[in-house]
């Protein structure tokens, strides 16, 4: 059963150690070496520091706390801190769980927490204040090491060194017990992120043999109806094991009550279970644990274990994970200042975490309709934070990961087919729609891929799915929008944000329909793409909520984020959200000069503190003037100066934002990374171009941060950026050449990237 040991080789260590000198410093740093997964783990970044592979289903990471979310009217605001389970300033680790979102502003997951301990068994986690009262342990950042696919820390209270690595579907633990003696592995099935009393709908465990445990956890959380199956294998036999139930109300026992189910009883079921497994450990002996996940069944998890890791030991899985990261990170080669390289490659790392693979090794997965589906001709992905990621992450994938992005769209189409609402995903994870945020931005992702010829599936079926989604009158004010051309704020809140984003999405549908010759759909949506005009109030010069009677809502504060008809943005920021028709926006705002003044005011007028308290998901640093970078609605805004006579202001602003908002340090992210969107913004911007309007084939040019960058395209070609006279003060673009010829446009096209070539910026300190 234990196959971990016999294939151990020193081979990998030899190969990988040679680039390190005796102080553990790298001599020839690779992209891998620049990545620092701890960036963004403090405050608002909400990323996790643990082990995962690119787009991997398992994110095996330390949880420093979770703080229960109360229901029935009570809401523990601090739970928000723990969207990724980890906060850098914490002093204790509860344990290591297997699933984590990266950078979200709401959360879920945290499945199957494992914690090693020694001494008397403690089955409650204890508190950060009194870790000794539970199984958690103090830790120090001094012993912490986080690299792509690998995490290490010393658990001080138990004198155990914990190491984590992962394959796509398996989390692999290695616990070195520095003291000999009776030791325990706790498997806490009650643990979870954004947890509350009734979140566990059911849990089930079977101890199959002395090495193997299977089971599942079913939750009612942000995903309303989620089941994750597991198969766990220890590297040495369990000597004894047990289970404690913490159900507040005793679950019906029936005739199971005739057994002593507490110790060495191989089948457990209930809502609140904690298992423990005992091992006798020698001094400095390591126990390895492989924990595979599946959405299908325990057998699916076992098969994933067999397909990925069961013939490997920890070091082999770790080496495989590094290889995967090396390969993905190598798709973009960047040179620049040392800190910029750290930020760039860390952003690239964060951009390659989400969406995650969501299918077993054999292609099967559980769908929204609760059926087991098989992904045929594509790989199925989940975790679509689309309100965030349609802006830059999916466009980035169209450049550096087109095959995967195509699979992601096929996954969205599968979601659509399984959806009782007959809708493409809005914010979906683990075969659940969670309906977070607004818009139907799958449409943008699909349009961007179709317009850029990335999508290899049935484009007409995808267009139909987009149109059907956009016709769902039950969805979030959409019925009003279809009938009235706007959404009455008194009927459906955040009405202006919805109208602006619906109108953009409708433009995406319109463009696809045009390209595909579906003039019926084009005509249907042509009436909708100008709906943004219906919520502009020329009297105040802002987008402004209307009421059911057609009048504008009287109380209106364009600086306030709350209750004004917007979401995660105030009227100042959100009024600029017409990426599909900037000229029309400029006209609304009074012409080019007034438009430029509007942008200047946005960046220059400091947001009074009283408004900051209401601004979600970001730190104070996440705001420049009144421009909010930590939330997404403004991500295109700095590039809008390209439509004015002062494109140098775009160059100036993006360099300012990139400098202020992305730092090399645990607190390096000013807002939620949002499944890679913040990082994707950084990557594009650092390379000097940005997709202001996904669904068009244009990228607006800004001011590159890099000295050079080159992208290895999947078509075998290379698209390079070369920057002459780069420097912190040389933020202005003096001239550009493309393939050696002068390039006078303020944008480049996707086809230029696809054909490969070199884009050369010459920089200057002068505007």
3-class SS letters over 308-325: HCCCCCHHHHHHHHHHHH
Query: What distance in Å separates the CA atoms of residue 336 and residue 707, rounded to the nearest whole number?
Result: 5
Of 60-68, 252-260, 278-286, 597-605, which part binds its own copies (CB under 8 A)? 252-260
Q: 177: part of which helix (H) or strand (E)?
A: strand 170-177
Closest CA to 53 of 430, 385, 349: 349
Residue placing its CB nearer to its own copies in the complex, 299 or 739? 299
Residue placing its CB nearer to its own copies in the complex, 70 or 78? 70
For the segment 275-334, give every residue that binds its own copies (CB under 8 A). Answer: 297-299
Q: Least Å distance between CB 251 and its own copies?
A: 6
For the segment 608-667, give every residue that binds its own copies (CB under 8 A). Answer: none
For the segment 119-148, give every residue that binds its own copies (CB under 8 A). Answer: none
Residue 237 is a binding residue for its own copies (CB under 8 A): no
Query: What distance in Å separates the CA atoms of residue 91 and residue 112, rounded to the nearest whole number?
Result: 21
Q: Least Å distance between CB 241 and its own copies?
A: 12
Residue 436 is a binding residue for its own copies (CB under 8 A): yes
Of 263-271, 553-561, 563-571, 639-647, which part binds its own copies (CB under 8 A)? 263-271
Of 50-58, 211-219, 389-397, 631-639, which part binds its own copies (CB under 8 A)? 211-219
Residue 526 is a binding residue for its own copies (CB under 8 A): no
Query: What distance in Å separates the CA atoms of residue 426 and residue 423, rounded to the nearest whole number?
Result: 8
Residue 484 is a binding residue for its own copies (CB under 8 A): no
Q: Least Å distance between CB 204 and its own copies?
A: 6
**How many residues make contact with its own copies (CB under 8 A)?**
50
Residue placing its CB nearer to its own copies in the complex, 46 or 318? 46
Residue 216 is a binding residue for its own copies (CB under 8 A): yes
Of 172-180, 265-273, 632-640, 754-762, which part binds its own copies (CB under 8 A)? 265-273
Q: Are 656 and 370 in contact (CB under 8 A)?
A: no
DSSP structure class, residue 8: -
Query: What distance in Å separates the CA atoms of residue 601 and residue 625, rounded to the nearest whole number?
Result: 8
Contact mark string toward its own copies, 63..82, x via CB under 8 A: --------xx----------
Q: Are 232 and 213 in contact (CB under 8 A)?
A: yes
Residue 251 is a binding residue for its own copies (CB under 8 A): yes
Of 214-222, 374-382, 448-456, 619-627, which part binds its own copies (CB under 8 A)? 214-222
Of 364-372, 481-489, 512-520, 582-590, which part binds its own copies (CB under 8 A)? 364-372
Residue placing its CB nearer to its own copies in the complex, 313 or 494? 494
Q: Least Å distance between CB 303 and its own copies?
A: 10
Query: What distance in Å separates the CA atoms of residue 540 and residue 490, rounded to the nearest whole number?
Result: 20
Q: 359: left (phi > 0), else alpha (psi -120 to 50), else beta?
A: beta
Query: What distance in Å separates the CA atoms of residue 516 and residue 512, rounded to the nearest whole number?
Result: 6
Q: Are 414 and 376 in contact (CB under 8 A)?
A: no
Q: Least Å distance between CB 267 and its own copies?
A: 4
Residue choice 24, 120, 254, 740 for contact with its own copies (CB under 8 A): 254
CA torsion angle 77 82 88 94 (round to 10): 120
Closest CA to 277 of 286, 265, 269: 265
In the numeric block, which tokens belong to residue 263?
A: 């110790």
Closest CA to 689 of 746, 645, 734: 746
For the segment 370-399, give every residue that binds its own copies (CB under 8 A). Answer: 370-372
Closest CA to 397 of 461, 343, 332, 345: 332
Q: Least Å distance between CB 431 and its own copies?
A: 12
User: How many other C-beta atoms lie within 10 A of the C-beta of residue 240?
Assistant: 13
Q: 584: part of which helix (H) or strand (E)?
A: helix 582-588
Residue placing its CB nearer to its own copies in the complex, 270 or 622? 270
Residue choice 12, 16, 211, 265 for contact with its own copies (CB under 8 A): 265
Q: 709: part of which helix (H) or strand (E)?
A: strand 708-712
Residue 557 is a binding residue for its own copies (CB under 8 A): no
Runs of H (alpha helix) within 87-162: none
Q: What share of the chain is helix, strand, coil (3-state, %, to 5)?
A: 30, 25, 45
Of 131-139, 153-161, 210-218, 282-290, which part binds its own copies (CB under 8 A)? 210-218
DSSP structure class, residue 661: H
Closest CA to 408 of 447, 442, 380: 380
Q: Least Å distance between CB 457 and its own copies?
A: 22
Residue choice 23, 28, 77, 250 for contact with its own copies (CB under 8 A): 250
Of 224-232, 310-318, 406-414, 542-550, which part binds its own copies (CB under 8 A)? 224-232
Query: For tokens 């505007």, what's the residue?
Result: 767
User: How many other C-beta atoms lie within 10 A of the C-beta of residue 250?
Assistant: 9
Residue choice 11, 20, 75, 256 for contact with its own copies (CB under 8 A): 256
Residue placing its CB nearer to its own copies in the complex, 16 or 265? 265
Residue choice 67, 121, 244, 269 for contact with its own copies (CB under 8 A): 269
Residue placing its CB nearer to its own copies in the complex, 302 or 535? 302
Q: Are 273 and 189 in contact (CB under 8 A)?
A: yes
Of 259-267, 459-467, 515-523, 694-702, which part binds its own copies (CB under 8 A)? 259-267
In the numeric block, which tokens belong to residue 70?
A: 């109360």
For the segment 397-426, give every residue that binds its own copies (CB under 8 A). Answer: 420-421
Q: Least Å distance between CB 284 and its own copies?
A: 34
Q: Least Å distance between CB 29 and its own copies?
A: 43
Residue placing its CB nearer to its own copies in the complex, 267 or 520? 267
Q: Are 747 and 688 in contact (CB under 8 A)?
A: no
Query: What distance in Å separates the CA atoms of residue 527 and residue 521, rounded to the nearest whole number?
Result: 11
Contact mark string toward its own copies, 689..728, x via CB under 8 A: ----------------------------------------
Pairing status of strand 332-335 against strand 698-701 = unpaired
For the segment 179-208, give every residue that binds its own copies (CB under 8 A). Answer: 196, 198-199, 201-202, 204, 206-208
Strands (E), 247-305: 267-270, 273-281, 285-294
The total number of residues shown for the chain amounts to: 767
Q: Least Å distance between CB 471 and its own copies?
A: 15
Q: Least Å distance between CB 552 and its own copies?
A: 23
Q: Are 178 and 330 in contact (CB under 8 A)?
A: no
Given the rule CB under 8 A, which residues bind its own copies?
Answer: 71-72, 196, 198-199, 201-202, 204, 206-208, 214, 216, 218, 220-222, 224-225, 229, 249-252, 254-256, 258-260, 264-267, 269, 297-299, 369-372, 420-421, 427, 434-436, 474, 476
């Amino acid at each position: 059963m234990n196959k971990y040991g016999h294939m151990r080789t020193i081979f990998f260590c030899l190969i990988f150690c040679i680039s390190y000198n005796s102080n553990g410093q790298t001599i020839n740093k690779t992209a891998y070496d620049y990545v620092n997964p701890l960036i963004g783990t403090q405050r608002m970044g909400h990323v996790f520091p643990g082990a995962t592979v690119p787009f991997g289903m398992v994110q095996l990471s330390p949880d420093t706390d979770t703080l229960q979310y109360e229901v029935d009217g009570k809401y523990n605001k601090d739970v928000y801190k723990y969207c990724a389970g980890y906060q850098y300033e914490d002093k204790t680790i509860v344990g290591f769980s297997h699933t984590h979102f990266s950078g979200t502003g709401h959360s879920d997951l945290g499945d199957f927490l494992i914690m090693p301990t020694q001494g008397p068994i403690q089955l409650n986690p204890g508190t950060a204040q009194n870790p000794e009262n539970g199984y958690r342990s103090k830790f120090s950042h001094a012993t912490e090491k986080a690299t792509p696919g690998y995490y290490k820390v010393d658990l001080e209270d138990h004198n155990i060194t914990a190491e984590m690595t992962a394959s796509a579907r398996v989390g692999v633990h290695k616990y070195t017990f520095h003291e000999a003696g009776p030791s325990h592995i706790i498997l806490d099935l009650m643990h979870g992120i954004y947890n509350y009393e009734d979140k566990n709908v059911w849990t089930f465990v079977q101890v199959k043999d002395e090495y193997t445990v299977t089971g599942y956890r079913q939750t009612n959380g942000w995903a309303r109806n989620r089941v994750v199956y597991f198969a766990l294998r220890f590297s040495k036999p369990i000597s004894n094991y047990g289970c404690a139930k913490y159900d507040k109300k005793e679950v019906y026992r029936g005739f199971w009550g005739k057994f002593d189910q507490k110790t060495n009883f191989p089948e457990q079921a209930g809502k609140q279970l904690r298992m423990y497994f005992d091992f006798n450990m020698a001094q400095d002996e390591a126990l390895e644990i492989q924990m595979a996940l599946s959405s299908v069944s325990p057998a699916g998890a076992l098969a994933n274990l067999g397909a990925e890791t069961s013939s490997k030991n920890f070091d082999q899985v770790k080496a495989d994970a590094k290889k995967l990261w090396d390969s993905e990170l190598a798709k973009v080669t960047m040179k620049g200042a040392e800190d910029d390289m750290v930020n760039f490659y860390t952003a690239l790392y964060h951009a390659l975490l989400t969406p995650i693979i969501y299918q077993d090794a054999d292609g099967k997965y559980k769908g929204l309709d609760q059926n087991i589906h098989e992904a045929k001709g594509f790989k199925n992905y989940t975790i679509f934070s689309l309100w965030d990621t349609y802006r830059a992450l999916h466009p980035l994938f169209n450049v550096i990961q087109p095959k995967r992005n195509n699979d992601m769209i096929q996954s969205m189409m599968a979601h659509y087919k399984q959806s009782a609402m007959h809708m493409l995903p809005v914010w979906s994870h683990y075969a659940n729609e969670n309906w977070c945020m607004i818009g139907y931005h799958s449409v943008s992702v699909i349009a961007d891929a179709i317009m850029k010829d990335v999508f290899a599936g049935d484009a007409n079926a995808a267009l139909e799915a987009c149109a059907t989604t956009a016709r769902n009158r039950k969805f979030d004010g959409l019925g009003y929008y279809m009938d009235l051309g706007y959404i009455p704020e008194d009927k459906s809140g955040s009405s202006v944000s919805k109208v602006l984003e619906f109108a953009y999405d409708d433009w995406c549908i319109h463009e696809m329909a045009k390209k595909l010759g579906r003039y019926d759909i084009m005509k249907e949506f042509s009436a909708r793409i100008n709906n943004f005009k219906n919520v502009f109030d020329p009297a105040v010069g802002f987008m402004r909520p209307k009421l059911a009677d057609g009048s504008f809502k009287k109380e209106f504060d364009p600086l306030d984020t709350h209750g004004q008809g917007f979401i995660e943005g105030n009227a100042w920021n959100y009024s600029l959200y017409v990426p599909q028709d900037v000229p029309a926006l400029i006209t609304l705002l009074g012409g080019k000069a007034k438009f430029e003044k509007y942008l200047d005011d946005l960046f220059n007028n400091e947001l009074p503190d009283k408004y900051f308290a209401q601004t979600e998901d970001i730190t104070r640093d996440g705001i420049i003037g009144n421009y909010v970078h930590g939330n997404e609605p403004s991500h295109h805004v700095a590039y809008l100066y390209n439509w004015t006579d002062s494109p140098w202001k775009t160059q100036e602003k993006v360099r300012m934002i990139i400098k202020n908002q992305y730092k090399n340090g645990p607190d390096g992210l000013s807002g939620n990374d949002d499944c890679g969107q913040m990082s994707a913004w950084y990557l594009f911007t650092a390379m000097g171009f940005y997709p202001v309007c996904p669904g068009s084939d244009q990228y607006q040019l800004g001011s590159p941060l890099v000295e050079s960058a080159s992208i290895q395209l999947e078509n075998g070609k290379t698209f390079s950026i070369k920057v002459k006279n780069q420097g912190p003060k040389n933020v202005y673009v003096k001239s550009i050449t493309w393939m050696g010829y002068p390039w006078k446009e303020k944008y480049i096209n996707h086809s230029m990237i696809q054909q490969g070539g070199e884009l050369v910026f010459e920089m200057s300190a002068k505007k």
